[in-house]
Amino acid sequence: MIRKHKVFLWATIFVIASAIAAVTPRLGRASELATYSFPSIYGGRIDTRQWQGKPYLVVNTASQCAFTKQYADLQKLYDTYRDAGFGMIAVPSDDFNQEFDSDAEVKSFCALNYDIDMPMSETLAVTGAQAHPFFMAVRAQSGFAPAWNFNKILIGGDGQVLATWGASTRPLSQKLTRMIEAELARPPQQP
């Protein structure tokens, strides 16, 4: 009985946090972010420097989450805009206790179920003192920290946080794609 109430309480907190995060994107223009490097799940590194002057999206992901099906639309979003210079990084995280125990399991799951070829990091912390430096910088600039899996952070060609969205914002939503298209339509910028 107590466990049932605990689960209900956590579910209620999640729903409220998601609703708050999804109401409007958070816009940030305080200062530009530096470039960051992420360890790639495929080996090597993913360096955000490759997208200087172009927008990129960073999404904290998890393989055992109710939002995991968003992987399919994230891949479609990446496929739609990558030839125009748009970048994306999926960042698996177990911060909310919904990711597999190993990067090999994450990689296999994503390949088998979603045919993922977008850049993906190794499993990293996205919240708290152990968060990857990118997420710490986003929080310092915009006040945004992932409240759940599949939170989305759009970085503009000028290296600034353009907007952030919670898990309930779908990757192919008009509010997200319109911002990407507007940013891609701008002349290349040097951050």
Confirm whether 110 is a catalytic residue: no
Which of 26, 32, 39, 65 is flagged as catalytic?
A: 65
Predicted structure pTM score: 0.83
Question: Per DSSP, what are the bridge partners of residue 60?
Answer: 91
Closest CA to 51 of 182, 153, 126, 158: 158
Taking phi over 0 as left and psi of -120 to 50 as alpha, with beta for the rest, 53 belongs to left
Q: Where are the beta strands (DSSP E) in 44-167?
A: 45-47, 56-61, 87-92, 152-155, 161-165
Digitized pLDDT (tens) for each residue of the chain, 191 residues in all: 555 555 454 444 444 444 444 433 434 344 567 899 999 999 999 999 999 999 999 999 999 999 999 999 999 999 999 999 999 999 999 999 999 999 999 999 999 999 999 999 999 999 999 999 999 999 999 999 999 999 999 999 999 999 999 999 999 999 999 999 999 998 865 54
